[in-house]
Amino acid sequence: MGRYFGTDGFRGEVNEVLCVDHAFKIGRYLGWYYSQKRGEGKSAKIVIGKDTRRSSYMFEDALCAGITASGANAYLLHVTTTPSVSYIVRTEDFDCGIMISASHNPYYDNGIKLINAKGHKMDADVEAEIEDYMDGKIAEIPLAKRDKVGRTVDYVAGRNRYIGYLISLIRHSFEDKRIGLDCSNGSAFTIAKAVFDAVGAKTYVINDSPDGTNINRDAGSTHIEILQDFVRENNLDAGFAYDGDADRCIAVDEEGTVVDGDLILYICGKYMKEKDRLNDDVVVTTIMSNIGLYKAFDKAGIKYEKTAVGDKYVYEEMVKNDYSLGGEQSGHIIFSKHATTGDGIMTSLMVMEVMLGMKKKLSELHKEVEIFPQLLKNVRVADKQAALSAPEVVAAIEEVAEALGDDGRILVRESGTEPVIRVMVEAKTDELCKKYVDQVADLMK
């Protein structure tokens, strides 16, 4: 973790943690850095996307000012999704990409995500250099003069190419399928309906009227109950909810049941295995995936790997071993044949492909998975390491793990950003979850 950049960019409350001068300096350094790499007086090309937050326009202007002042050119996709920026960067002649978004956070937060030329999250060493420049540890870089000043270019055509790419992935017609889309008043509103309409679905869209302050507010993947009611009330075949920048997706089946990232991994993993598209028959998960998913994978003959929490770590494991499917319970799902990052709209299309390919309802595709009740409690402590290593705490964790056996698990980990220990238990019943979480948490307090 850097001084400013975390696992998912530089994020925080606008003009409190993340300020407009930060954006200008990030643009300045990136414009200079990549122009130097191009050499021979060539200008770097940097593509920028943003979500619907009011502050995203301010940060877009500041980034463009910094980039062009350093002699590079800024290409604007305007309101678009994070995965679309990743796609454009890796398929066209761009040095890097920037997405302005705080994902599922409230509107008063924002973030700057950096994407390298391969469409991956930016290398940590480049982010470290940017942080040094922001902190004045690097000498001031030169300003471009005269005809060397960069340009800002309208590049909405890039977003349209991404829409065309999503449509090209579809093998079945969605005709006669009634699909609900919750766009979270975020980036998906410019893309999701266009894609589903193009492949023949009858779409019913909610939360597609952003006003700059309503992104994620009682909407999208973090408020899935809204889509559950909508699917039931309109007798839809399925529903898909996205977060603010549409890099995650949570589904709802025709009965109104939530189909989270774990269930999506099972549905797509099993189908890909049957079609011989699941490399080494392995799905990459994080340590937060439900034990019920692993039991279902065992029955289906699917192997799995576990990483730390974060789609960044999931993708690193996928690249290292050439795995084809991975993701998180929260709905970040990565199909490595098609993308280098979680893509909510792509995920919803892939789920539809399984429904149509198997000729089954969505509820039938996940019925074999018994999701265990799960309870997570955050325990605020004075010293995280001391709390975790205390002999009585270690003994209590071991005691709970032994009591749960193969019918549950306990996971205790420290927060990377707060003085908090997270205690999570999965068990056969909610009562057992509460009993064992409290047993460890109370002792830790």
> Do both 347 and 396 map to the same domain?
no
**What is the pLDDT at residue 417?**
58
Look at residue 387 and tell me if it is in a domain. yes
What's the CA gap between 59 and 404, in Å, rounded?
A: 49
> Do both 107 and 47 map to the same domain?
yes
Of 320, 339, 365, the position where a domain reaches its end is 365
**What is the pLDDT at residue 298?**
97
Of 160, 194, 209, the position where a domain reaches its end is 160
> Do both 297 and 200 map to the same domain?
yes
> Do both 201 and 347 map to the same domain?
yes
The two structure tokens encoding residue 86 = 């990743």
Look at residue 269 and tell me if it is in a domain. yes
What's the CA gap between 207 and 242, in Å, rounded?
A: 10
> How many domains does the chain fold into?
3
229 marked among binding-site residues: no
260 marked among binding-site residues: no
In 3D, which of 110, 84, 107, 111 has the Cα closest to residue 97?
Answer: 84
Helix residue spans in 98-246 (DSSP H)? 124-134, 156-168, 192-198, 224-233
**CATH number for the domain including 404?**
3.30.310.50
**CATH number for the domain including 130?**
3.40.120.10
Of 134, 160, 186, the position where a domain reaches its end is 160
**What is the pLDDT at residue 341?**
93
CB atoms under 10 Å from CB of 361, counted, come to 14
> Do both 70 and 202 map to the same domain?
no
Look at residue 88 and tell me if it is in a domain. yes
| Alpha carbon distances (Å) from 72 to 48, 96, 153 | 13, 11, 11
247 marked among binding-site residues: yes
Q: Which residues are within 8 A (CB) of 25 and not within 5 positions of it... i.e. 6 or more apart?
A: 66, 130, 133, 134
DSSP 280-318: GGEEEEETTS-HHHHHHHHHHT-EEEEE-SSHHHHHHHH
Q: Which residue has the tokens 């390491």?
A: 385
Do 35 and 26 form a contact (C-beta atoms < 8 A)?
no
Look at residue 2 and tell me if it is in a domain. no
> Do both 141 and 260 map to the same domain?
no
The per-residue pLDDT for range 277-310, each reduced to its tens digit, is 999 999 999 999 999 999 999 999 999 999 998 8
Look at residue 105 and tell me if it is in a domain. yes
103 is known as an active-site residue? yes
Residue ranges of the chain whose pLDDT lies below 70: 1-2, 416-418
> Do both 20 and 147 map to the same domain?
yes
Which of 35, 70, 101, 103 is labelled catalytic? 103
Q: Which residue has the tokens 């009965």?
A: 255
**What is the pLDDT at residue 382?**
85
Residue span of the structural domain in which 21 resides: 10-160
The per-residue pLDDT for range 170-217, each reduced to its tens digit, is 999 999 999 999 999 999 999 999 999 999 999 999 999 999 999 999
197 marked among binding-site residues: no
Look at residue 4 and tell me if it is in a domain. no
What one-character DSSP code corresponds to residue 121? B
Do 303 and 278 form a contact (C-beta atoms < 8 A)?
no
